[in-house]
Structures are given as structure tokens and as C-alpha cells.
Amino acid sequence: MHGMDPGIASELARHRSYLLRVARLQLRDPALAEDVVQDTLAAALAAKDGFTGKSSVKTWLTGILKHKIVDAIRRKQRDPVAASSLFEDADLEDFDALFTRRGTWDPALSAWPDPEQSLSRREFMEVVQLCLDRLPPNTARVFMMREVLELSSDEICKELAITANNLWVILYRARMSLRQCLDTHWFEGQRQP
């Protein structure tokens, strides 16, 4: 979509539920998430002439939302998430069965199909969302802070009052769970016989 046309409000509204889902996951406060999404949509409307069409509208809105969420996190005065609750989500031993004694995957993972082809498919993105939704809430929050909001490790540790080592463990758990979920729910069905 090159430049914004008069139908911008309907175009922005199409992405509202996605933006709200991301904001709720990060902020854990439905009212604040709603406010942040409204601020995002208002900022997009105000900056519509600056939209060049070099990215999709969804990508553009997500960029605006990320800044609004980071601002809200920095402003929000709340009790930090207890580190113990972050570690109640899963134990590292839960992943031991996935590896051999030598540290390799057990069973060995087969090659995934062409990743660019998979990423372009809507079904794949639906499975990614399913896998993200299946992560324990605190693990998903940390993963999204790092990978979607692109917060630095220092910012995440400060916000959640955890150590860098705690952060590494949580991200490891998230990545292993996502890998396992994607392998089970997507790639097994895509493998060639």
C-alpha cells in the first residue's frame, strides 16, 4: 500500500486485535494495553503522511507499538515480577529428554523445509502464534520483550528484577519450547517422505 489513503482508519482497525494481543502480553494490564494500542493508532493517524510503504502497515504499526510499550514499561511504577514465578514455568530438566548424553538432539532433527517458503505461509504464522500461546505466560513475556520489542538484556533484567543468568535461562526455555512445538505442529507435517 503506497501512501495512506482516506480508508486509513479501516486499514488500521484490521490490525488492532494483533496489536492488543502483543500489548496485553507485555503489559499484563488490560486497561494499559488498551491505552497503548489507542496511542499507537492515534500516532499512526497523525504520522500517516510519513508512511512510505517500504514496509507493510502491520510492520509499521508494530514499530510504533514497540515504542509505546517500552515507554509504558519505563513509566509504570509497579512491583517487579518475582523471579521465582519466572522459574516456576518450567525446569531445565524438562528439556533433558531432548538431548543425548553428548548434547545432540535425540532423536536427531530432520532438515526443515525452505524457511523462506514456510515464513511466507499464513498457516506457519498461525502455528507460531499457537506455540507462543502455549508458552507459560512469564516465559512468553520475556521472550516477547527480547525478540519482538527488542529490549536489551539490561532493560529486561531491570524491568523484571532478574539477573542476566536468569534471563538467559528463561530465553533458553522459551526457544527450546518453541523449537519443540514448531517441530511437532508444523515441520513434521512438512517433511518429505
Q: What is the model's pLDDT at position 2?
A: 41
Dump the DSSP string for 13-58.
HHTHHHHHHHHHHHH--HHHHHHHHHHHHHHHHHTGGG--SSS-HH
Residue 77 pLDDT greater than 50, yes or no: no
Residue 137 pLDDT greater than 60, yes or no: yes
Q: What is the band of 79 on the pLDDT scale with cuts at 50, 70, 90?
A: very low
Distance of CA 33 to the CA centre of its chain: 15
**Which cell goes with 123?**
498457516
Q: What is the model's pLDDT at position 35?
A: 93
Let me know: does 19 contact 138? Beta carbons within 8 Å: no
- Block residue for cell numbers 510519513: 50
Let me know: does 160 contact 80? Beta carbons within 8 Å: yes
Class of domain 8-75: mainly alpha
With CA atoms as reference, report the closest residue to 151 among 25, 26, 16.
Answer: 26
111-127: average pLDDT: 64
Residue ranges per structural domain of the chain? 8-75, 83-190
Q: What is the mean pLDDT of the chain?
A: 75
Dump the DSSP string for 145-192.
HHHTS---HHHHHHHHT--HHHHHHHHHHHHHHHHHHHIIIIIHHH--
Residue 157 pLDDT greater than 60, yes or no: yes
The torsion region of residue 87 among left (phi > 0), alpha (psi -120 to 50) and beta comes to alpha
- Block residue for cell numbers 533458553: 172
Residue 139 pLDDT greater than 70, yes or no: yes
**Which cell goes with 171?**
530465553
With CA atoms as reference, report the closest residue to 62 among 38, 33, 32, 40.
Answer: 40
What's the CATH number for 83-190? 1.10.10.10
**Which cell goes with 46?**
497523525
Q: Could you tell me the pTM of the whole model?
A: 0.51
